[in-house]
Amino acid sequence: MNEIQYRNITVWLVEQISAGQPTQVLLQAMCDRGWRRDVAMGLIAQAMGERTDPGAVAMPTTGASPQTEVITINGDASAAVKPMPAPAIDDGVLYLDVGDRRVPVLMHLPRPRVVLFGDFLSKQECDRLVETARPRMQRSMTADPRTGETMVDTVRTSRGMFFHRDETPLVRTIEARIAKLLQWPVSHGEHLQVLHYRPGDRYEPHYDYFDPTQPGAAPLLARGGQRVATFLMYLREPERGGDTTFPDLGLSFAPKRGSALFFSYPEPDPSSKSLHGGAPVQAGEKWVATKWLREGVFE
């Protein structure tokens, strides 16, 4: 799907949604035209997030052309190509300019796309974010795939909180830095979440995308489309443990303060190889901040 096709289908969807067409009718119409069901659902959800601003249907940019990914399910490549958040490191650069600092690229896996950055946050920024978040920490929740509601789950034992977009000057700075690094608009990201892991706390291996086959996916997708990438920032290091693991890739990343880990998943399917988890903290405490990136405008 090229830029013109992307614009045309999004404009059509926005018009149909504004006219009151039910989601199921639009989904069936797209499937009848040859669209794969999961791709159609993602485009409909994105259009729902953009219907209040018809001028926002152009492919998202942040001053540079977005990266694109071919949508592939279980090795079957679709003809659809969609924009994706990604750093511009294809030419092998060692540092990326994010406006207020140069961020070193420490590791890059092209497929699936996994990138480790050093010194994304300063020590002072890490400490300030932790101290600002600390009074608002509560037991972390997960999304119930059956209903779309948040719930307590034993697979995730950390405590967390969310900063609203632009809530503080520091949050605004971090969001702008992420947007420039990944060439993806601030408006297409969820609110910044800070998480606290104490000894024994963990997050079992999981996927960050919403399973479109589950009944609870619709309300989650309606807020900005599918999640397509995760940006994880390490704020404080534990004494032992707490690695971010990718079981399908055999990779493990130590939670080094100030560094950041990016990975994307252009299709909501296990073939994305984006299964990941937080290993138990063995000693000390781990603090991280997470930014999930969406296909469309998140509200």
Task: Return the HEC string of the chain.
Answer: CCHHHHHHHHHHHHHHHHCCCCHHHHHHHHHHCCCCHHHHHHHHHHHHHHCCCHHHCCCCCCCCCCEEEEEEECCEEEEEEEEECCCCCCCCCCEEECCCCEEEEEEEECCCCEEEECCCCCHHHHHHHHHHHHHHCEECCEECCCCCCEECCCCECCEEEEECCCCCHHHHHHHHHHHHHHCCCHHHECCEEEEEECCCCCEEEECCCCCCCCCCHHHHHCCCCCEEEEEEEEEECCCEECCEEECCCCEEECCCCCCEEEEECCCCCHHHCCCEEECCEEECCEEEEEEEEECCCCC
**pLDDT value, residue 42:** 77
pLDDT of 180 reads: 96
> Do 28 and 130 fall into the same domain?
no
Kindly state whether residues 18 and 106 are assigned to the same domain: no
How far is it, in rounded angstroms, from Cα 258 to Cα 235?
A: 6
Residues 206 and 68 in one domain: no
d(CA 232, CA 253): 11
**Torsions phi, psi for 184 (to 5 deg):** -145, 135
Identify the CATH number of the domain in which residue 146 sits: 2.60.120.620
162 and 116 share a domain?
Answer: yes
| 299 belongs to a structural domain | no
Per-residue pLDDT at 46: 74
Contact 260, 120 (CB under 8 A): yes
What was the pLDDT predicted at 21?
77
User: Does 121 share its domain with 256?
Assistant: yes
Do 70 and 105 lie in one domain? The reply is no
Q: Are residues 114 and 260 in the same domain?
A: yes
| One domain for residues 68 and 26 | yes
Residues 153 and 127 in one domain: yes
* pLDDT score recorded for residue 176: 96
Choosing from 30, 59, 84, the residue where a domain stops is: 84
- Examine residue 106 and state whether it is found in any structural domain, yes or no: yes
Residue 248 lies in a domain: yes
User: Interior CA angle at 288 toward 175 and 201, to 5°?
Assistant: 150
196 and 266 inside one domain: yes
Q: Residues of 43-52 as b/e, b for ≥16 C-beta within 10 angstroms?
A: bbbbbbbbbe
- Is residue 42, in this structure, part of any structural domain at all? yes
Q: Considering 29, 56, 84, which residue would you say is the last residue of a domain? A: 84
Domain that holds residue 176: 95-294
Asked, for residue 89, whether it belongs to a domain, the answer is: no
Which pLDDT score, from 0 to 100, does residue 29 have?
A: 79
Task: Look up residue 282 and give its two tokens.
Answer: 């063995």
pLDDT tens by residue, the chain, 299 residues: 555 566 677 788 887 887 777 777 788 777 767 777 767 777 887 777 654 443 333 344 444 445 656 454 444 444 445 689 999 987 778 999 999 999 999 999 988 999 999 999 999 999 999 999 999 998 776 666 666 666 556 566 678 999 999 999 999 999 999 999 999 999 999 999 999 999 999 999 999 999 988 888 888 899 899 999 999 999 999 999 999 999 999 999 999 999 999 999 999 999 999 999 999 999 999 999 999 999 999 98
Residues 80 and 99 occupy one common structural domain: no
- On whether both 176 and 254 belong to a single domain, the answer is yes
Query: What pTM value is reported for the model?
Result: 0.74
Site of tokens 């990136």: 293
What's the pLDDT at 207?
A: 96
Split into its structural domains, the chain has a count of 2
